[in-house]
A = this chain, B = another copy of it.
Amino acid sequence: MSRLAKTDADMVRAHNRLAVLDHLRRVEVTTRKAVSEATGLSVSAASAICGTLVRCGLLEEIEEDDRSIRRGRPGKNLVLCGRAGRVAALKIAVGEVSGRISDYAGRPLAETRQKVDLSGQSGETLVALLATLAGELVELAAQGSQEAPGKRLDKIVVAVQGKTHSDLSGIVWSPALKHRDIEIAAPLAARLSADVSVLNDCSLMPEAFRWRPDFTGLDFATLFVGFGVGMGLRINGATFQGKHSSAVEFGHINHLPGGALCRCGNRGCVEAYAGDYAIWRRATGGEEIPGHRIPDADMAALADAARAGDEAARAAFAEAGNAIGYGLGRVFTMIDPLPIVLTGSGAQAIDLLEPAIRRGIRESAVDGLGAETPLILREDTDALVFDAGTAFALAALDGEFARSAAEATEAA
């Protein structure tokens, strides 16, 4: 009925514990006093909460000879306890699955990658594949350190190229798979007895910067330009998740009515100009959509040709940049001019794209606002997705721990 729910002491406790955990995510190491200052809690309350979290096993006190020449009683250093949990970020892409496992402190423990032809696979096979991948990661992590062998995962995030359900339960459609509507979260959770969330890779990306001090309070967009074109948005401090498609389908925002043919069946989408296949066909004079994915090496070669003066290649990249620029201009007009984090093969060809991108923004945004927006390059897309999935998982875990707060029953 009512939109506003009540609040009580339990929620106060959970909220404040989460505030403490959130602070630790940002600073790595802190003291009770610093927690008090960062959160606004009284020193008594901050100290009490820290004490509880240490007893819960979420935090631990470490001896660290900071030895800054300060007088007075030195603060006890507190850090997140890696042993409190484990999360995995898995990634489903065309012809490949990969993943990273991290401990509760966010330290990566292991990564793995596996080429595999997914296209014809059923949902069960895919879930089995992911379960195996997760098992491998746990195995690899166990080799690294001898403690807590065979420990289960607490939370798994699956990042998928393509459209996912907004309830994080599975895949609606993916270019990596022939089948549609594949349920992932429930069956994978049952197999691994871990919480599973399935999200679109691009819309997840802003999570990678969740605790980065230089991005705190900043709204920005992540832009993937490669075989497809996708976007993630951080607005008002929250990562945007649509109700319907879960993602900002930037690549399918119409660029030119009745324009070039896109994989989605429509005409004139941004992707139909800026996707790898679009740049390729434009440079090679085709109009069809290539049946195969253009290898990264081929795209790199094409970029080099453009740099060497190949006119068709130059024009193809310029047209791609123009479509991206107009798309960004449209987004900026709607939302706000935003800094852009760029990744994918487009980041490698940024020298060819940037002038056209900025010109496109200038021509399409009111007062050309946003044409000078910062462009931050992150060439390693996989790392970005792993960072994002891990942050998403850890944030969710923090929330659960803050709520449940199982105080460890200590001996004597």
A residues touching B (Cβ–Cβ < 8 Å)?
A: 1-9, 11-12, 15-16, 18-19, 22-23, 26, 37-41, 45, 216-217, 219, 236-238, 242-245, 248-250, 252-258, 264-268, 322, 326, 329-331, 333-337, 363-367, 369
| Known A249-B366, A257-B364, A336-B245: A7·B11 in contact at CB below 8 Å | yes
A48–chain B nearest beta-carbon distance, Å: 13
Minimum distance in angstroms from A395 CB to a CB of chain B = 11
> Which residues of the partner chain B approach A322 to less than 8 Å between Cβ atoms?
257
Inter-subunit contact B237/A3 (CB<8 Å): yes
> Cα distance A264–B267 when bound, in Å?
28
The reply to whether A6 and B39 contact each other, CB–CB distance below 8 Å, is: yes
A244 to B219, CA, bound (A): 11
In the complex, are the beta carbons of A363 and B266 less than 8 A apart? Answer: yes
Query: A249-B366, A266-B364 in contact; A4/B18 too (CB < 8 A)?
Result: yes
Provide the residues of chain B in CB contact with A364, threshold 8 Å. Answer: 254, 257, 266, 268
- Contacts A4-B18, A12-B12, A369-B244 given: A326-B257 contact, CB under 8 Å? yes
Determine how close the nearest CB of chain B comes to the CB of A294; give it in whole angstroms.
Answer: 22
Q: Tell me, rounded to whole Å, the shortest Cβ–Cβ distance linking A396 to chain B.
A: 15
Q: When A266-B364, A363-B266 are in contact, do A333 and B253 touch as well, CB less than 8 Å?
A: yes
Nearest CB of chain B from residue A222's CB, rounded to whole Å: 14
Q: Is the pair B5, A19 in contact by a Cβ cutoff of 8 Å?
A: yes
Residue of B nearest to A322 (CB): B257
A3 touches B253 (CB 8 A): no
